[in-house]
Amino acid sequence: MTIRNRLLKAHPATMVLAGFLSAILMGALMLKLPLSTHGGSLPFMDALFTATSAVCVTGLVVVDTGSFFTTFGQGVILALIEIGGLGVMTISVLLFQWIGVGISMRQRMAMQDLFAHTPRKDILSLTKSVVILTLTAEALGTILLTLCFYKEFPFQRAIFLALFHSVSAFCNAGFGLFPDNLMRYNDDVLLNTVICSLIVVGGIGFPVLYDLQSWFLRRCRGATARLSIQTKVVLLISLLLIIGGALMFAWLEHSFQPGPPLLHGLLTALFQSISCRTAGFNTVDIAALREATLALMIFLMLVGASPGSCGGGLKTTTLAILFGFSVSRLAGKRRVNMFKKSIPAETITRSISLVMISMGIIVTTLFMLLIGDTFQPAAISRPYGAFLPYLFETVSAFGTVGLSMGATAWLGTWGKSWIIFMMIIGRVGVLTFAYIIAGAGALRGIEYSEENLMIG
């Protein structure tokens, strides 16, 4: 059987994974070109790490993006971010349509899994809307950010900086071209507002954006319109996490100060609350934050973005389902209801499985990183240990966030390999990986007589 025939018969989950791996490999080879770097070639492991971080829209880096890579290399990273943000299947489908090649049923199924929570006949129309919305948001962000950067950079450089950070923000990638990320702009109201807006729009998910667009157009025509439960849950949980995270961050770090610094404190707290769930930009020194604040950020990174978005993590809907499930069981109710709708039992089971498998993967990866760290001579010079930094790094990779306490610099080939593994899982999805490994067969298995166990 030829490779083409294998791809045509492959399950959509396998096609998505193969697409991301192919993009990562091509990106790594391009980043190794002398044209991509200043003063020498990048080691293959570092090129692979950077390409994975870009395609998986994570933002973890082993070298400074702005100074180590040339404009060509930065352009390669920008292209990889866009490919990873939109998804390889999205770009492939649109390319096939453009050159007149038919779209297979498996490709339609892949797009269905990426962008829709219920079966749709207009999946190709939804895909086109996703691309148009993405390009529109990134273009608007580029224009506004150019106004920020033009104050201190030549016009052409300001446009490139604006384009790079706009795409990186909308795709929730967190790549920046400044050594301190965005710490130098922590009091720039316009830049903070634009970056935060792009992160939120890119992180709530394309299905939600499409649903909001359809709802708005129908209301403008005077037709009856209602939002799906997916949209309602995502908007509610996202709002609660953003506001709650900002208030907690401000309280833990005492960001709210009397007098002129109040606006600065508000900007800092709000920016980190939004960014640490999906994007990875930072306007404060992460390593200098208190441990309680870092624990809060780990929780936000673990939750991550929303389904069908550019971000990773457990997703906001999973958090909502688990909370609803716990409340319903404590109240003695059999069904989980949200917004006068009952959630299918299969969805609840998948959510619980997602959390359990994710916790297992995170713990395993953390353990492997700690094992590798014990054999490094530099480990003895870290009096506070590596547990918290490595936990932060692992969850950041899983949530495709990109924030770091500095542990990336400690990683050798062993550690980088595990973080690469986590970034790929975080972007493609835990359940997608589980499906590829276990297969599609939902076997009923052998049933024996029941016997109870004590729990709790």
Closest CA to 268 of 294, 249, 292, 293: 249
Residue 151 vs residue 166, higher pLDDT: 166
Mean pLDDT of 366-386: 70
* Pair 365, 272: CB distance under 8 Å: no
Closest CA to 210 of 90, 345, 109, 116: 116
When pLDDT is cut at 50, 70 and 90, the band that residue 220 belongs to is: confident
Q: What is the pLDDT of residue 99?
A: 42
Q: What is the pLDDT of residue 100?
A: 47
Q: What is the pLDDT of residue 53?
A: 92
Q: What is the pLDDT of residue 395?
A: 94
Burial class (CB in 10 A: 0-12, 13-18, 19+), 257: exposed
Residue 10 vs residue 285, higher pLDDT: 285
Closest CA to 306 of 314, 316, 298, 296: 316
Residue with tokens 């499930």: 325
Q: Each residue of 93-109: pLDDT tens digit?
A: 554 444 444 445 555 55
Q: Each residue of 395-453: pLDDT tens digit?
A: 999 998 988 888 888 888 899 999 999 999 888 877 776 666 655 555 556 777 777 78
* Pair 315, 302: CB distance under 8 Å: no
Mean pLDDT of 68-84: 92
Phi-psi region for residue 439, left (φ > 0), alpha (ψ -120 to 50) or beta? left
Q: What is the pLDDT of residue 394?
A: 93
Q: What is the pLDDT of residue 439?
A: 55
Percentage, residues of the chain above pLDDT 90? 33
Gap between the Cα atoms of 359 and 293, Å rounded: 21
Highest mean pLDDT among 88-92, 140-144, 205-209: 140-144
Greatest C-alpha distance within the chain = 76
- DSSP secondary structure of 12-74: HHHHHHHHHHHHHHHHHHHHTSGGGBSSSPPPHHHHHHHHHHHHTT----SS-HHHHB-HHHH
Specify the range with the lowest mean pLDDT, choosing from 1-5, 134-138, 152-156, 303-307: 1-5
Residue 342 vs residue 224, higher pLDDT: 342
Gap between the Cα atoms of 293 and 299, Å rounded: 10
Element at 341 (helix H, strand E): strand 341-342
Residue 216 vs residue 147, higher pLDDT: 147
Q: Is the predicted pLDDT of residue 80 greater than 90, yes or no?
A: yes
User: 451 to each of 349, 445, 447, 448, how far by Cα in Å?
Assistant: 21, 17, 12, 9
Q: What is the pLDDT of residue 406?
A: 83
Q: What is the pLDDT of residue 321?
A: 92
Alpha-helical regions (H) of 116-260? 123-149, 155-170, 189-203, 206-220, 229-253
* Pair 206, 284: CB distance under 8 Å: no
Residue 380's φ and ψ, nearest 5 degrees, are -70, -15
Q: What is the pLDDT of residue 344?
A: 87
Q: What is the pLDDT of residue 383?
A: 47
